[in-house]
Structure formats: structure tokens, C-alpha cells
Amino acid sequence: MQMGQHFMDKGEILGASPGEYRVGVLALANDQVIERDLSLLLAPEILTFTTRIAFEGGCKLAELARMAPTLTEAARLLNPEVALDAVLFGCSSGTIAIGADRIREAVQVVSPDAFVVNPIDAACAAFERLGARTLNLVTPYEPEIADLMATTFTDRGFKIANRYDFGIVESADISRVRPEAIRTAALSLSTDSVEATFISCTDFQSLHVLASIEEQTGLPAVSSNQAMAWQIQDRSGVSSNSTDFGRLLSCL
């Protein structure tokens, strides 16, 4: 029996890196929902690489803002061997605390050609596509963050008609809110003259009740993770992995 090593030429054995469209995901260390949601929402052609951002876990603007200096180093951990087409920052409240421009600049130090996605810009783009300017807003946040979230949308030309805040101050509790409680909150808001519902937070278990909220209200319902998945797929030109999670995904 002949033993030994046999090597083929690299040109024969090596092809392109896996994934037609590669997305880095910057998730908070304690987020329990975002990766599951993205796996359900994104088409198979989209390959994700996830790293975690250290976070103390308190739902306060000052604590969220303290993530800013860590973003570039977190982005370096995504996958240094491939060029990323997009990088997703997975925190809605963190986006308004840090600022979308600062997040984009921090990521593009590492991935200068990547399209940087965040929940707020993605939601605004989604509502533009849906033709919705007057919104109902559901958040898990305490008043300081919820007020700033509402102001952020107002500053971008949207009107917040009605709002429901759960008032949660411990981050660990956000992911534990039952989907049915989120659904009940959304359905408690008046739909008079309202054009869409936004359910904020990447760690909120809202994905599986979006279709039910839409059925009951007659309005499109958009969540943070759904909006980012839609924007990535819209930009990449691939079809959604599923149309079971809200009518926004049919806009691809």
C-alpha cells in the first residue's frame, strides 16, 4: 500500500469563499433574539458572520452610548478573511444613543466598502417603501429611551400617532416578553389615520406576531430585525427566505 501526501494545485481545489452575499452582524452580548430572527428572514444566498459587543445590560441611554468606542474592534472580529458586503448593527436603542453616522464610521474603518445597516435607518426606508408616514410605536423601553425613539422618527418626517412602552429597565427582561404581550400592546393602539406599526428592539420577540397584528389592524407591521433583513435583501437583489413575517417582505 502506497503511503504519502498528495497535493493538488491550488487552482484545482480552491474556489470562492462561501456565500453570494456576506453580512457581518454586530449583536449585543446579551441579545437572545436577533440571530434566530435573521436565520428565519434571510435567504440562503446570504451568509452571516456574527460577533458580540460587550454590554453592561442596563437599558439607559448613557450605558448604550458607552458601546461606541468598542465598535471598530468588534467589527474586526467579524471575519477578516473575506470582504463583507454589509455590516448590521443590531441595536435599535443603541443606534439612537450612539448615532447612525458614528456607527457607520466606526464599522467602515474596518470594512470601508460595506453597506452599514441599523434598525432605525432600515425602518425609515421600510416605511418609505410602504408609503407610511403616520405610525404607531411599540417599545420595550423606559421613558427616556422611548421618548428619544419617538423624537428620532419625528425628526425624520414621520408622525407618531400612538405609543405603547413596556417600561423595561433590565435588558434581560426584554427578550422574555411574551410575543402575545407584544401583540396585545400593538392591538391596544388606535389605528385611526395610522398607516403602519413599528415594533422597536432587536431583542424583542415580535417577529412571529407581525402577521397577526397586520391581520387585526389592516396595517403593515414592521419590526427592527425584519426591517434590517428586508433592507439587506432589497439591496442584494435576492428574494426573502419567507413571506410569513409581515407584508414588508413582499416588497422585494
d(C-alpha 94, C-alpha 91), whole Å: 5
pLDDT digits (tens, 9 = 90+) for 146-163: 999 999 999 999 999 999
pLDDT at site 20: 83
Largest interatomic CA distance in the chain = 81
Q: Read off the DSSP letter of residue 32.
A: S
d(C-alpha 125, C-alpha 66), whole Å: 27
C-alpha cell at 148: 428619544
CB 118 within 8 A of CB 54: no
pLDDT at site 15: 67
d(C-alpha 228, C-alpha 200), whole Å: 12
Tell which CATH classification among 1.10.1530.10, 3.60.21.10, 3.40.50.12500, 3.10.105.10 matches the domain 21-118+228-241. Answer: 3.40.50.12500
d(C-alpha 176, C-alpha 33), whole Å: 10
pLDDT at site 88: 98
pLDDT at site 2: 60
Segments of the chain with pLDDT less than 50: none
pLDDT at site 178: 98
Report which of 93, 138, 98, 115 is spatially closest to residue 24, judged by C-alpha positions: 115
pLDDT at site 239: 78
pLDDT at site 5: 65
Spell out the domain ranges in the chain. 21-118+228-241, 121-224
Intrachain domains 21-118+228-241 and 121-224 with the same fold: yes
Return the residue matching grid coordinates 470594512: 111
pLDDT at site 136: 98
pLDDT digits (tens, 9 = 90+) for 8-43: 777 777 667 777 899 999 999 999 999 999 999 999
pLDDT at site 216: 97
Report yes or no on whether pTM surpasses 0.75: yes
d(C-alpha 207, C-alpha 134), whole Å: 21
pLDDT at site 6: 64
Tell which CATH classification among 3.40.50.150, 3.30.450.80, 3.40.50.1860, 3.30.342.10 matches the domain 121-224. Answer: 3.40.50.1860
Q: Where are the alpha helices (DSSP H) in 99-250?
A: 100-108, 119-130, 143-155, 171-174, 179-187, 210-217, 224-236
